[in-house]
Amino acid sequence: MNDTPRYTLDDLLAIMARLRDPERGCPWDAQQTFDSIAPYTLEEAYEVVDAIDRKDHAALRDELGDLLLQVVFHARMAEEAGLFRFADVVEAISDKLVRRHPHVFADARYADAAEQTRAWEAIKAGERAAKGERDDSALAGIARGLPEWQRALKLQQRAATVGFDWPGPDPVLDKLEEELEEVRAEFAAGAPVERLEDEIGDVLFVIVNLARHVKVDPSRALRRANAKFERRFRRMEALARAAGETLLGKTLAEQDALWDRAKAEERE
């Protein structure tokens, strides 16, 4: 850890302003817009999560810097357009944190985490009302731009705040079996892709619900499954190359045998 950093946050803001200068800055940075930068913002957030998953703290430091750059980038473009400044971003989030934590910064007291969650949602509902938003549904304010796994989870969490929830994982497992049978029935009936999309969507939604009930993050679980698949598949390719072959030239049964071998090596 560097106790005497060469740069401060003010330096970063100044660097960003220089990069955006239409005459003395970087042509690429200067021509960017909110829309063109948005995909990079999402990508950097995922790279932060990846570094955390890998427990690579040096990479985490760098990825957090990249994510901070995205905030500074958007704030600079907003300032140029006369919308708001970086200082306004800091002010807004600081105000929100204090307002939403009255049990820390004021005299509120909550009996347990569940009561705190209900109070949190009530505070957010009050914020929406203050902005003139008229949607009083328990599901109000859930962003539509979230990854669908995350949005499904938030929809379920909100519904649970008014008691619309399974009592535990067992009935969710029963529901999952029911939804899988409906998928089988649609396949057997030669259903069009729209019907299959409907039923498979129900299966995925129930899987998110199951993960929620057993306190598993569905996004993290899927990331781990992806990493596991990639690791084993790459090992299959390596085993085939070691034999002077490729996966493309093998039958599915032969590929399955390599997959089983890769799994067995991991267990060992």
Question: In the predicted model, what is the mean pLDDT of the chain?
Answer: 92
Q: Is 152 exposed, middle or buried (0-12, 13-18, 19+ CB in 10 A)?
A: buried
CA distance 245 to 258: 12
User: pTM of the prediction?
Assistant: 0.66
**pLDDT for res 5:** 84
2 band by pLDDT with thresholds 50, 70 and 90: low
**pLDDT for res 196:** 94
Residue partners of 219: CB distance under 8 A and separation at least 6: 147, 149, 150
Torsion of CA 74, 75, 81, 87, to 10 degrees: 170
3 band by pLDDT with thresholds 50, 70 and 90: confident
Tally of CB atoms within 10 A around 222? 14
Lowest-confidence segment of 127-141, 189-203, 253-267 by average pLDDT: 127-141
**pLDDT for res 116:** 87
Give 186-204 pLDDT, tens digit per residue.
999 999 999 999 999 999 9
Sign of CA dihedral 205, 210, 213, 216: negative
Mean pLDDT of 24-32: 96
Is the pLDDT reported for residue 1 higher than 70? no
**pLDDT for res 234:** 96
Mean pLDDT of 140-162: 88
Give 62-114 pLDDT, tens digit per residue.
999 999 999 999 999 999 999 999 999 999 999 999 999 999 998 889 888 88
Q: What percent of the chain has pLDDT over 90?
A: 71
The candidate with the shortest Cα–Cα distance to 235, out of 258, 254, 268, is 258
**pLDDT for res 201:** 95
